[in-house]
Amino acid sequence: MTAASVSLGDNSLDDHVDVEIASYVDPSNPKSFFLFAGAGSGKTRSLISALAYISDVHGEKMMQRGQRVGVITYTNAACDEIKSRRQFDPLIHVVTVHSFAWSLIGGFNRDIREWLRTNLAYDISELQAAEAKGRKNTKASDKRLVDIASKTKRLTRLDDIKKFTYSPTGDNRSRDALNHAEVIKITADFLTNKPTLQKILVNAFPILLIDESQDTNKHLVDALFAVQASFRQSFCLGLLGDMMQRIYNDGKEKLGEDLPIGWMTPTKQMNHRCPKRVVELINKIRINVDKQVQRPRSDSVEGIVRFYIFPSDTANKNAVEQAVAIKMADISGDKLWENANNIKCLTLEHRMAARRMGFSDLFVPLHGIESYRTGLLDGSLPIIAFYSSNVLPLVQAFANKDKFLIARIVREKSPLLTSLKLEQSTSPSGLLKQAQSAVESLMALWEGGALPTFKAILDNISQSGLFAIPDSLLSSLQPLQDAPPANAEDEDADPQSEVAIAISEFLAGSFSQLERYVEYVSGAARFDTHQGIKGREFPRVMVIMDDSEARGFLFNFDKLFGDVHADDKTAQATKRLLYVTCSRAEESLVLVGYSGNPEMVKANVVREGWFRPEEVQLEIS
């Protein structure tokens, strides 16, 4: 379909898609499929419709066989919504991807142990080889030695672990616990190479539907493809998503293209969310990416779109954006634009939000490590979770003088007061005093209004043992050896890894930034990005683009609008971010951009038909 062929018409245009999907999810004749569902297309409604059909038509027979329908979603909130809309149907097993993975491998203790043994041994050999080549007593050497010691300790303890544990929402700090990344890696490996686990999956979940499939870990998706290829006659794998709305880098590239023979590709064309003008804009944004075109509802409002472009060196950007909002109230006739609480402010890049909210010292170093990004953006990264799950609640409870909550946090999270220690101790009161002393020592760091760094807090906890320190932070403590530090020449010849440098920079930051970071990743902040608003919609949306704040990382606003036909990786990423943010608007949308050449940007976007001349302004008149 081309843009020229799109016309307003029947708002039930996509109803046939739900009928088609119903024919695919027949356990006796399954057909795997990829559902393309763009922004506002009613993807969740189609998912609920499919689940209702399966339950009504095939549910009784599946339950008799001890089978269920598996549904993988990306967030706990999405899980709760689907469960509620299906009235907690016992046939439907709705879980996050990590919970699903653990449900498959939990209990395979011997296999997990051998997988860990092999991987730990490999990691240790790689570190030892690097240490043999590197220079001694450097920071890089210190980190390698700590990592070798930590991994060796874990390796030697493997045989003592009879049962591995894992919590999708916990910090997994006990020595028998797996971390989030390990659970996904092990599950993908086992599903690919263990026919027994494949059979267990297919027998338990002959129908498996994955929401937001574009962001599901690529190794897990490949493993599920392998399962589907082996069990075409008895397993339906349904993927729902839109590659234009891909957020995480660990998702599978080009998902939906070059699918195996026999896969079905239903497509939804309608956008039930956005006004006509916004649909026209987002179609322009994505047309050079994948040629997909949506159509608005015939009864949708026309909508308001504006693009304000200011010089990069604009002094008071917050004041400028407030003035734009006031102008939008005048243009749209919607006075709610005058109140910031009624506007959803979206930035194209997390760094911009971090800088504006005041947690960039925490965020920027860690975001530079690709393997950290997913955990950093959902709050599960162990380096961060150590502070947000343990220290922050304790600091807040102490500030509120809530002694009961302080006691509860320490009792539940501190290794000083485990049930086993209390049972085996000849002086439980002595352990309680030790824990109390550890809390008082930690809280002393804030005395007199001081703002301790993450490093100061880490060193304090290391001394007291108040909380278990994750392996990723152990190497940031004192070096193993007491040898004098290497000279500058040695440090230059054997530099620290990017990860070590990033952690060091993070630890130098103030702990005071953590609360704002937590507010941001939980979606409670005024500013948000494409990740936090997945699947959500807002009447009034302001999208802010500023290369100088984002430092050109992952996207480049000037580059995109300098050549809207650009097709490199950065341009593609920028278009995806722009598409997701703009497509949240239900009534009116304003883009605010800061450019080194505002006139050029205006000329290009008008010439290419993204915006009309009167919609693009270089000043607030």
Q: Residues of 452-464 as b/e, b for ≥16 C-beta within 10 angstroms?
A: bbbbbbbbbbbeb
DSSP letter at 175 equals T
- Kindly tell me if the per-residue pLDDT of 60 is higher than 90: yes
β-strand partners of 165: 177
pLDDT tens profile 440-498: 999 999 999 999 999 999 999 999 999 999 878 887 775 444 445 555 555 555 555 78
Averaged pLDDT for residues 256-275: 91
Rounded Cα distance, 557 and 605, in Å: 12
pLDDT of the residue at 83: 94
Residue 547 backbone dihedrals phi, psi, to 5 degrees: -60, -35
> What is the distance between the alpha carbons of residues 556 and 583, in angstroms, rounded to a whole number?
19
Decide if pLDDT at 3 tops 70: no
Q: In this structure, are residues 202 and 231 in contact, taking their beta carbons and an 8 Å threshold?
A: yes
When pLDDT is cut at 50, 70 and 90, the band that residue 554 belongs to is low
CB-CB contact of 255 with 36 (8 Å)? no
* Max CA separation in the chain (angstroms): 82
Please give the average per-residue pLDDT across 26-39, as a whole number.
95
pLDDT band at 374 (very low <50, low <70, confident <90, very high): confident
H-run or E-run covering 36:
strand 33-37
Give the whole-angstrom CA distance, residue 183 versus residue 239: 21
Q: How confident is the model at residue 7 (pLDDT cuts 50, 70, 90)?
A: very low
Digit-coded pLDDT (tens) for 68-90: 999 998 778 788 999 999 999 99
Segment 147-158 mean pLDDT: 92
Is the Cβ–Cβ distance between 209 and 47 less than 8 Å? yes
For residues 357 and 612, the answer to whether their CB atoms sit within 8 Å is: no
Question: Is the pTM for the entire model greater than 0.85?
Answer: no
**Helical spans, DSSP H, in 211-349:** 218-230, 276-290, 317-332
Residue 219 has pLDDT above 90, yes or no: yes
- Rg of the chain taking only CA atoms, in angstroms: 27
Per the CB < 8 A criterion, the answer to whether 391 and 457 are in contact is: yes
On the question of pLDDT at 318 being above 80, the answer is yes
Most confident of 2-16, 372-386, 589-603: 589-603
pLDDT confidence bin for 172, thresholds 50/70/90: low
**Is 29 or 497 the better-scoring residue by pLDDT?**
29
- In one letter, which amino acid is 53? Y
Distance of CA 417 to CAs 173, 373, 393, 400, 422, Å? 14, 33, 17, 23, 6
Of residues 258, 257, 248, the one with CA closest to residue 217 = 248
Q: Considering the chain, what is the average pLDDT of its residues?
A: 88
Mean pLDDT, residues 249-261: 80
List, for residues 581-615, the tens digit of each pLDDT value. Answer: 999 999 999 999 998 889 999 999 999 899 999 99
Asked if 438 contacts 416 with a C-beta cutoff of 8 angstroms, the reply is yes
Query: How many angstroms separate the Cα of 59 from the Cα of each of 18, 51, 204, 236, 570?
Result: 18, 10, 13, 15, 46
